[in-house]
Structure 1
Amino acid sequence: MVNQSADGVVSDTNSGDADSNENPAVRRLDDWNAEELQALVDDNGSPLYVLDLDRVRENYRRLDQAFPDAEILYAVKANALGTLLETIHEAGAGLECASAGEVTRALAAGAPGSAVRYTAVNPPARDLDVVVDAWEDHPDLTITAGAEDTIDRLADRGYDGRLCLRVNPGIGAGHHEKVRTGAAAKFGVPAERAVDVLADAADRGFDVVGIHAHVGSGVQSEQLDAHREFVSRMGDLARDVADAVGDLEFVDVGGGFGVPYREDEDPLDLDAVAEATRDAIGDIDATLSIEPGRYVVADAGVLLTDVNTVKEARETTVVGVDAGMTTLARPAMYGSYHPIRNLTADDGAARETVPQTIAGPICESGDVFCTDRELPASERGDVLAIGNAGAYGYEMANQYNTRPRPASVVLEGDEVRLARRRETIDDVTRLETDRRRSDRDSNPETGR
C-alpha cells in the first residue's frame, strides 16, 4: 500500500509488512552495540547524544500502519534536531510546532506550509509576529489557537488564514501530573464554549479548518479508557461544530503515545490504541489527525557519558559522570526512570554487581540519574549509556552552572554524522561578551 500525504510526500508502507523482529515495538538499551557506542565517544567526546535515524523511520512506519487513514504530524518539541525533522518529513509526516522557533525549524527542514501546524499556548507577541510573517509566504500554514484572546491577537495582525481551535475536553492522562494537559486550565478553550468561539471566528473571516486537543504525554495501555473517553468527547464536539459552523477538515486528538522506559514494561499496544481511537471518535466527516512525538524518537536515542569519580559514601556508592541535569533534565524534573548500561563492563570481564547512585556534576542534590541501582561496579573511565534519551533529552538541556550543552551525532545505515557540535564556554558567554564589546565600541572614552 502507498500512502500519500497532503503535501505530496509518498511513503511505501508495504515495507512495514516485514517480520516484527525486524521492526520491534520497542528498542531496549541492551539492543545497542556497546563497542560502536564506545567508539562514538572516542571520536566525539562526552557527554554525547546519539540518534538512530533508521529507527526513527521504523517507528514512523509502525504508526503509519496502525493509523492508515489518519494524518500524522510529528510533535517537534520532542526533538527538534534539523536532520531529524528532514528525515521524518521525508518519511511522510507533517510537523506540529509549539513555538515560532519550531515553525522556523520546520520550514527550514523543507516542509511546506501545508505540512506545518503551529499550536499556540499563551504565545508571546514576538512568536505571533514571526508565525504571521511566515504565513505571508506559506498561506497553507495552520495556526491552532487555545484562547479567544489569541484569535483577537491574530486578527489584529491581519491574519485570517487557516484556524484550528484547541479545546479543553476536561480529561487528562499521562506519565506525570505535569504533562497531563487534557484537563489543565492552561490548555485550550473549554469544550462547551468551542462551538460559539468557532462560529464567531468564521463570521470574522477566519478559515476554520479543525479542532484540537491533547490528553497528555506518555499515555500507556492501562490508560486506554481515559484515551477512549477523551477521543469520544472530541468526536461529539466535531459533530456539534459541523452542525453549527460547517464541516471541518480535520479533528486532531494529539499524541501522547507512551513508550516503556523500564526494562520490564511492555510496549504500548499501538494497534489497540488505533482501534480504540477509531471506534471512539465515531462517524465524522473529517480527517483524523494524530501528533506523536515521544513514540517516534525516544528509543531511537541514547545519551553517552563518562565516569569521572567513584566514591564510597556512607550508604551508597556514588558514581560521578560528566552528564547531569543540564544534559538530561527528566530524572530531576519528573523523577523519570531511564535505563542505564555500563558499556565498558560489557567487554567480557566479569564485574560484581553493586548498588550505585549515578550523579552528575551540578551543585544540586537532585542532580542524579538513579539511586542505589544494581549495576556492574563502575570504574573511572567507564562509558555509561542512558537509554530512551531521544525524546525531551537535548530539547530540555540547558546551561545552568555555565555548562555547555553536548554534541549530537546521528546514525544512518553505516554512516555516522556530527549533527550538532559541542558548545564551548565561549558559546555560553558569547551574548554577554558581545554586549560588553558593544558597550566599549559605543563608549570609547570610558573603555567600558
Structure 2
Amino acid sequence: MSEINLIKLPHEILVNIFKRLYIFDLRNLMLSCKYLREFIENESSLWKIVCRRGLIIATNEKRFPITWYNRSRISYNWRRGIFKSKLIVQHSTNYIPWMQLFADVLILSIGSELKCYAIDKSGFNRGLLWSIHVPIMQRYDVRTNDVSRFILRENLIVCGNRDGSAAVYQFNDIRKKPRLLYYIENCHENGQVEVTAVESFNNSVITCSNISPHVCLWSMDEDFVKNTNSNCISEFIVPECVGSRSLAVDPTKTKLAIGPNGNSKPILLDINTGDYLMTSKETKDLKHVIRDIQWHNENGIIYVSHSGKLQYIDVRTNDVIYTARDPFQSSLYCVKSDGDRAVIVGSSEYSRCVLFDLHSSHHVQMYFTQKKSSPIYSLDFDARKLVAAADRGVAVANFNVNASTTKMKDYSHIFEFVT
C-alpha cells in the first residue's frame, strides 16, 4: 500500500480539507512546514470560507492592501481585544473634537483649528502636514468659536462652527493646505444659534442646529462669495423636532437622514422634492437625542442616542431591524460602520469604544483607548486600526499585532445590572 503525502494532494482537495478545520488547527498546520504555511496564507478562497464563521472587519483600502489571511488574523485580534494603543495627538485644554480618516491622513478639529496629520497604516502620527484657523464670528455671548463638526466630501471640507457660521474649503491634494472657498456668517436664526452638523450635497451645503427646527440648504454658485448670507435656497422645518444633532446624505445623494433632538428615531427627507419620507411623531420624547447618524448602506441607517442605544433602521420599510445597548448603559456620542457587519460606537465615559456585530444580539468587544475617563466624541476605523478622539487627545488602537506576544484585554462578556 503506497503512502499518501498531504502536500502532494491536488489544490482543490487541500482546500476542501482545510475549510473544515478551525483557525486553531490551521495555525498548527502552518507551523508544520514551509509549504503548508505559504499555501494556507496565500489561499484567499480558503480564508473567505473560514471567515464566514466570525466577524471580519471590512476594508476598501487601496494604498495599504491586505490579504484575506491577514484580514482573518487581525479580525481575530479585534474580537479578542488584542491590540496596542498609543496617544498620537495630545493637548492640555479640554475640547470636543471631531475627526475623520482620509486615505493616509487624519483630519482633526481642535477648538477653532483644523489640523491634518500624516499617519502610517498602523495609525501612528508621522507629523503635522498643515493647520488652518477656521474663520470666526464674534457673538458676545457664552458660545465658543470652536468647530462643532466637519465633513469631507470629494474635494471639499465643510465646517460648522458653534458661533453660528460655516466655512467651506477646497483641496486638490489633502496633504496640502486647502483654500477657503466660501464662508457663511449667519446660518440659523441670524447667527444666534450654533451650527451643530453639516453635510454637502452636489453643489450645496446643508446645515442644522440643535436648538432650531430648520435645516438649511445653501447654494455654492458663482455669486456665493458676493453675498454669503443670501444663498439659502431651501429651508426645511423638521416636523416634531426642536433641533437636530446630526445629518447624513445617502450614497445616491437624494435623501437626507436627520438625527433630531427630542426623538428616538431619525427623520428622512427627500432633498430634491422636500418631502419627508419618514417622520417620528409616535416616538417623540424630549428626553431622547440622536447624537450621531450614518448611512450603513443605501437602504439602511445606523444611529446612536443619548439613552445608550444603537439602532439600525431599514428605510424601505421604516422598521428598526437591529437594536443594541451600551454594556454600561452609558450615553453614546458617535458611531461608525464598515458597511458590512461591524459597527463601532463611542461611549460617554472611560474613553471607551464598543464593537457590535449586526449578526449578533450583544457587543463583541470593548476597547479602553486611553487611561483617562473622557467621552469619545469622534472615531474612525479600518481593518487594521481604531482611532478615537477624547477631550484632550487622540489615541490609536493597532490590531495588526502578534497575538502570542500581545496582552489580551477581553471584555466580550455581557454585563448585567441589578436595579
User: Which structure dedicates a bigger proportion of its chain to strand?
Assistant: 2
**Greater relative contact order (CA < 8 Å, ≥ 6 in sequence):** 1
What TM-score results when the alignment is normalised by the length of structure 2?
Answer: 0.30
User: Which structure dedicates a bigger proportion of its chain to helix?
Assistant: 1
